[in-house]
Structure 1
Amino acid sequence: MKVYVKIALLVVVIMNTVHMKAQENYSISSQKDRLRQYSGQWISAMDPNTDSVAKLPEIKMSSLNNFNNHSLTVKVLQKDSSDRYNPILHEIIGYDSVTDTVFAAGHNTEGAFFIGKGKFSSENHWTMQDKDLNGHKTMKVDFDFQNYTDVIVEGFDTNEKSLWKTRYIKNNPKDKNIGIQLVSVHKEMLKNPEKTLIQLGRMGYSYVETFVYREGRFYGYSPKEFKAVVEKSGMEFLGSMTFFDPENKNDDTAIHTWWNKTIQDHKNAGVEYLSTSNSNIKNIKTIKELQEYCNYYNKIGKLCKENGLKFVYHNHADEFLKVEGVTVYDYFLQNTNPEYVYFQSDVYWMQVGGVNPVHYFKTYPKRFISWHVKDYKELGESGKIDFKNIFNYQEIAGVQYILSEVEAYSFPPLFSVGLAWEYIYYELLK
């Protein structure tokens, strides 16, 4: 366990017909939203034909959102012979709602100013026509997004001759240790785990949490193989959701058999914590049954601690139902051993369950090693959850991992998780 606090971004999609359509139906339709693909920190590839980057890339670009995502402030720096980065271009690029176009205004180091106007012809292709302040055309610039972290930019003169071509690779910072739960991009992971993980690492995610542990494997990889694939993408594999709920909570043979193998597999994968949830709460009718679960969680937590891992309980809304007049979540918090059982509070499901998460953080301080931060749409979009106030209670709660979920997508999943990273990084983690 590293000593610094890890902030985890767990972006989770729950695929149910009540809240969601099929993922493949999502698109980025508006000019304003398409422009957000260009936000972030970028570095140039070694060559326009490859996405490989040098240790000291030739160009660095910062493209930051302003005015409710209507514009971007763009700064471009180039490496000199002394390996120092000097500014070569400064511009603002924005969406104009009156003309439904993308505009730009900027200048270079020679003091030459320009204006530009253009449009996305599709989600992936964007063209801008630049002019000088006398109204003369100077250069046309094409942007071709290979994916959400890879864009080829090419400049043409007035005769359509290529002047230059640069490939930019997203390189968002990892200093706030934001992670992601891979259920958010589950279909993408099933299709191509390595390419998906590479994009997530470039978006700024520091580590991943999984939910697909089955028969000792993760997305078809052995524990050590999956650890290596994640690390190759510039991230770490730190957490895993696991599910085993034996009918007989006193069957120590079955419990130890399943959990000892699970723990060893996860140790081989290098994780720091295991989490679980309970889908059987609505069937619990007595305090005795609640206590059996608490005893079970204590057993798991003790096994994890003996093997250098942490065990974490994750809530949904059912935990705020009552059994014999007692709230299930309070009973779990009061009757599990803090040395063995940590809690991962899902603030969205707390609200659905009719409770204030801050109340629990104050009432049970230091019990919540992690949070799931989820909204009714992409993070911060619904206005129904006061995330900024909740984030004032990180220290009181004892949080080490902040995990965010996306319940309902408005855009393609990989685009949405990029927006979620931006919201956590720029709005919540000051």
Structure 2
Amino acid sequence: MKVTATLVMLVLFISQLSAQELLGSQAARLHQYVGHWVSSEHAKTDKVAALPAIKMNNTSTMDGQSIQVEVLQYQQGQYQTVLTELIGYDSKTEQIIALGQNQDGVIFKGEGGFLTDNHWKMRDRDMLGDFYLSVEFDFQSPTKVLLKGFDKAGKNTWETRYIKANPKDKNIGIQLVSVHQDMLHDPVKTLGELGRMGYRFVETFVYDQGTFYGMSPVKFRQVVQDSGMQFLGSMTFYDLPASDDWQAAMDWWSKTIRDHAQAGVKYLTTSNNQLSSIQNLAQLQRYAEYYNAIGKLCKEQGISFAFHNHADEFMRVEDVLIYDYLLENTEPNYVSFQADIYWMHVAGVSPQAYFTKYPKRFLSWHIKDDKELGASGKIDWAALFNHTEFDPPQYMVAEVEDYSYPPLYSVQLAWEYLYYTLLK
């Protein structure tokens, strides 16, 4: 993220507008079906029982071209597989093709496709060519799909609503700037989507005069918890004040920190868009003193404080790297660091080298790429995650700021890349 809140919001708004409004290809549309799903109590509710009647595990294969489906039904006190299926996009017929088998041993073949981004129809036949089933899929949101079955005459014979329930065991967080427009439009619904996708905690970007997305600290914390996540981190901004305005800045930070303590956050971060104007080490030292003062206020409220980098931190002042100076001239008891991997890549520095050289200084890291996570091929994520020489930062935060798809689809891809590829 680039640093002043106003500038970031403007850049983000433009980038989200430039993202494709539609998913486009059949393969991309089909990918919505990937994930762990459970049936709701009935087709007209999102409520899920403690032991859902059906669980469905859909795994992406063939570099996103196909999905391996396993459907399990709760029978006689345990979940038993009742259906397996391979579903993929066929580039020759430009259709979605399925080949499956039910628990009775019947093998069937399905053909069909998406009529829109969210509406998918399939018609299945057995190996004798006889009609088996017609199914329609209505993706009502990224984490909710309604399935309807039809007989040969076109009569609706059953309906099941599936709710996505991806696992949270790998402690993946999401920076909410990634879905900023969705959060502004409907924060409660958007948080619910992120929780179902598998995100375990959120980091915010919109603290404003004591509120988060228009909600009090306590209210926002409760909404996040109701979505199945935790409110652990927040990024806030107040530029380095002039010497005669120091107390006003400290007063602002004191209130901000108290509000965040009410919200139950574990850490607070800030970043800096003024670094390119620094001309000497004396000016840089004022920033170190500023961050020490903020960090001390945070510690008094039981909150950790961290400095978030972009690329300017790796410029030199009097032949000293700004980032190195801040690492070496801030008090470790008060100031930690949040590594933005994308901006380190832009600056041409090694995150591994910093994690190794400065152990215990990095509290969290933003896992961000050029467009969707892992899509650019420019960052060696495998080397970064398969390490032995350093302990990774405590809080891992996915972030997407440039998009090939609608943002909620893109952040689902980010979670999948982290969960299934980098953290496997």
- Under a length normalisation based on structure 2, what TM-score does the superposition of the two structures give? 0.95
Q: Contact 2:16–2:406 at 8 Å: present in 1 too?
A: no
The structure-2 alpha-carbon separation of the partners of 1:394 and 1:239, relative to structure 1 and needing over 3 Å to count, comes to farther
Aligned partner of 2:358 among 357, 360, 364: 364
* 1:367 Cα deviation after fit: 1.5
Report if aligned partners of 1:314, 1:345 keep a CA contact under 8 Å in 2: yes
2:371 is matched with: 377
Q: d(CA) in 2 for partners of 1:286 and 1:379?
A: 37
Picking from 82, 103, 107, the partner of 1:113 is: 107
Q: Which amino acid aligns with 2:74?
A: K
Which SS does the other structure have where 2:207 is aligned? coil
Partner of 1:3: none
Matched, 1:72 2:67: yes
- Are 1:44 and 2:39 counterparts? yes
Relative to structure 1, the CA distance from residue 249 to residue 302 in structure 2 (aligned partners, 3 Å threshold; closer, same or farther) is farther
| Structure 2, gaps ≥5 residues long | 1-7
Higher deviation after alignment, 15-24 or 155-164? 15-24
Question: Structure 1: how far apart are the matches of 2:12 and 2:219?
Answer: 34
Cα distance in structure 2, aligned partners of 1:334 and 1:62: 48
Contact 2:12 2:401 in 1 (8 A): no
Q: Which residue of 1 aligns with 2:3?
A: none
1:81 positional shift? 4.4
Q: Which amino acid aligns with 1:92?
A: L
Q: Residue 175 of structure 2 is aligned with which of 181, 192, 202?
A: 181
1:211 corresponds to 2:205: yes
Q: 1:268 aligns with which of 262, 267, 291?
A: 262
String of CA shifts for 1:206-248, please: whole Å, max 9, x gaps.
1111010010000000000000111111111000001112422
8 Å CA contact 1:239, 1:273 repeated in 2: yes
State the SS of the aligned residue for 1:86. Answer: strand
Does residue 283 of structure 2 align to residue 285 of structure 1? no
| Alignment-derived partner of residue 59 in structure 1 | 54
Could you give the per-residue CA deviations for residues 22-55 of structure 1, whole angstroms, max 9, x where no partner exists? 1575220000000000000000011111112112
Distance across 2 between alignment mates of 1:371 and 1:163: 50
2:421 to 400, 412, 427: 427
Query: Map of 1:266-415 to 2, 5 A cutoff?
Result: 266-393=260-387, 396-415=390-409
3-state SS in 2 of match to 1:41: strand
Paired residues of 1:378 and 1:410 also in contact (CA < 8 A): yes
The higher relative CO (CA closer than 8 Å, separation ≥ 6) is in: 1
Name the CA distance, whole Å, in 1 between partners of 2:174 and 2:143. Answer: 16
Contact 1:88 1:108 in 2 (8 A): yes
Comparing 102-111 and 364-373, the one that deviates more? 364-373
Inter-partner Cα distance in structure 1 for 2:13 and 2:197 = 29
Distance in 1 between residues matched to 2:121 and 2:333, nearest whole Å: 58
Cα-to-partner distance string for 1:35-90 (whole Å, 9 max, x where unaligned): 000000000011111112112111110001111011111111111243x2111111
> Match of 1:344, SS?
strand
Asked if 2 retains the 8 angstrom alpha-carbon contact of 1:338 and 1:367, the reply is yes
**Paired residue secondary structure (2:73):** strand
Q: Which amino acid aligns with 2:360?
A: K
2:5 equivalent in structure 1? none
Q: Distance in 1 between matches of 2:243 and 2:357?
A: 28
Select between 380-389 and 298-307 the one with higher mean Cα deviation. Answer: 298-307
Aligned residue for 2:292, secondary structure, equals helix
SS in 2 for 1:399: coil
Which residue identity is paired with 1:368?
Answer: F
Q: Does 1:257 align with 2:264?
A: no
SS of residue in 2 equivalent to 1:55: coil
Q: 1:17 to 1:374 in 2, by over 3 A?
A: closer
Q: Tell me how far apart the structure 1 counterparts of residues 388 and 256 of structure 2 sit (CA, whole Å).
A: 30
Residue 148 of structure 1: how far off its partner (Å): 0.5
Tell me which of 136, 142, 149 is aligned to 1:148. 142
Matched, 1:28 2:23: yes
Who is 1:102 aligned against? 96
1:166-218 CA-partner distances (Å, limit 9, x unpaired): 00000000001111111111111111111111111000011111010010000
Cα distance in 1 between the residues matched to 2:359 and 2:288: 19
Q: 2:218 corresponds to which residue?
A: 224
Query: For the Cα contact (< 8 Å) 1:249–1:296, is it kept in 2?
Result: no
Instruction: Output the amino acid matched with 1:35.
Output: L
2:156 corresponding residue in structure 1 = 162
Aligned residue pairs total: 417
- Write the letter of the residue equivalent to 1:16: V
Distance 2:377 2:47 in 1: 40
Quote the Cα distance in structure 2 between the aligned partners of 1:334 and 1:29: 49
Give structure 1 regions of 4+ aligned residues with deviation exceeding 3 angstroms. Answer: 249-252
Aligned in 2, Cα 1:58/1:338: closer, same or farther, shift over 3 Å? Answer: same
- Contact 1:74/1:91 (<8 A) preserved: yes
The 1-side partners of 2:108 and 2:32 are apart by 23
Answer with 352-361 or 153-162: which moved more: 352-361
1:22 counterpart letter in structure 2: L
Q: Given the two structures, how large is their TM-score scaled by the length of structure 1?
A: 0.93
Per the TM alignment, residue 325 of structure 1 is displaced from its structure 2 partner at its CA by 1.4
For residue 120 of structure 1, report the CA deviation from its aligned partner. 0.5
Note the C-alpha offset of 1:402: 1.3
Paired letter, 2:135: V
